[in-house]
Every structure is written in C-alpha cells, then in structure tokens.
Amino acid sequence: MGVGAGVASDCCGVVTFPTIAYTRERLSPEKSIAAAREFLRTIRQRRTVRSFSPDPVPDEVLILAIQAAASAPSGANMQPWKFVIVKDPELKRRIRVAAEKEEKANYEGRMPEAWLRALAPLQTDWHKEFLDMAPALIVVFKEDYGAGPDGRHITHYYVNESVGIACGFLLCALNAAGLVTLTHTPSPMNFLRDILDRPKNEKAFLLIPVGYPAKRCRVPDIRKKTLDEVLIVR
C-alpha cells in the first residue's frame, strides 16, 4: 500500500486516502502543562445552567462552536451527526410544549421512585421554561445510518460514542466562548424529528439550550469527585 504524501493508492480494489504530513509542533513540557492547566481552569467554570437570560447570542459563536463539534473524531470518519440551531420563538415554543408533555408523564408516573429520589436534590420538575427562554437551542441528531445521494444505506459505526464526543467538543467550545449550556434529554424525544422536519435516519441525541445565565442565576452547590476517586494509575 502506498503511503506517500498526497498520493492516493489503490490496493485490491480499495481506494485509500492520500496522506498528508502531520505538522503540529510539539510543545515543551512546560508549555504543555501550562496549556492543560489553562484548559482545566476554563472547563471548570462550566456549569449546567437552567435559568437563561433572553439576551441573544452572536450567531457566529454558535457556528464556530458547531464547526468545533463537527471536527470530532468518529467511527470510520462517518461523522454521523447533524446540528440544528433553533432560534425561532414559535419553534422553541412547540419544542417546549412537546417536551413538557413527555416530562410531565415522566415525573408523574413513568420514572421509578429511585430515579425521582436521585433527582430530588437538583429540584428539577416537568416545567421546562428554559426551552422558551434560552435565545438558541442546539439540537444534536445522530445518524444511525447515512443516506447516500442515490438513497443508498451507508453503515455508521460507534454512533453513540462519536456523537457523544462531538457533543463534548460542542460544550467545551460554547463554554470557551463564555456561553452557558444545559444538556437536556427530554425522554422520549422523537418529537424533535417531527418538529424540526428531519429525515428518518436521524434521531435526536441531545437538546442543548444555549445562552447567558439569567440575572441572579443560581446553580446547585455540587462537588465533583476528587482525582483520587476517579483516577487509577497502573
């Protein structure tokens, strides 16, 4: 198999990608540590926020953050994701109404007692005002399979892992830009495909209200596990 830079090679009927030189410069240990420390400082400022200011956010930030998300690694580079930005108040309203209908059924019967007890400290309930209030919702869809131009079925691999990683990139990018997010998963969320008019190979994966925190926004005083609790070195 030829691996020369920029040379597509063909072996046994398989066309491989040409390769390009990977040229990112190596950081010194000091610079590397400083960069990791700065990233940690920034990401530790991220909090899941449930009360949003209605102030608009720059479209360009949303677009750049989605470009960051879409640069994520994915199984066989299939990039099995779509991102829908919803700013239209009428669409946000329809999403809120549909989400609250499902969440009311969840909180008032479908969720087992143990789940309700686990959520009680967070004081969540079926009211989802943030779906109207946040200036933008980003709905991330996963593609369980792709559709070729001729309607051909394209198999996707590690879809949940790939889209989960892309969502992580998206949250980091929005946080770096000073915006707050909520990782919301109304369940079930099939209604999003209908309301947003998406094809049947797409399934809603995560609904992310994005914006600025409301004035006097409060968040639960939770703690993250310590390094000792999460790190094993062998």
Q: What residues line the site for ligand IYR (CB under 6 A)?
A: 103, 119, 124, 184-187
User: Of 82 and 128, which has the nearer Cβ to ligand IYR?
Assistant: 128
Least separation in angstroms between CB 91 and ligand IYR:
19
Shortest distance in whole angstroms from residue 104 CB to ligand IYR: 10
Nearest approach in angstroms of CB 120 to ligand IYR is 11
Q: Are strands 14-15 and 153-155 parallel, antiparallel or unpaired?
A: unpaired
Is the Cβ of residue 8 or residue 119 nearer to ligand IYR in the bound state?
119
Calpha distance 34→38 (Å, rounded): 6
Nearer to ligand IYR, 156 or 184 (CB): 184
Q: How far is the CB of 76 from ligand IYR (least distance, A)?
A: 30
Nearer to ligand IYR, 94 or 145 (CB): 94
Q: Are 183 and 198 in contact (CB under 8 A)?
A: no
Produce one character per residue of 78-109: b if its CB has 16 or more CB atoms within 10 Å, e if not. Answer: bbbbbbbebeeeeebebbbebbbebbeebbee
CB 141 within 8 A of CB 193: yes
Residue closest to ligand IYR, measured at CB: 124
Which among 214, 177, 155, 203 has a CA at the least distance from the CA of 68?
Answer: 177
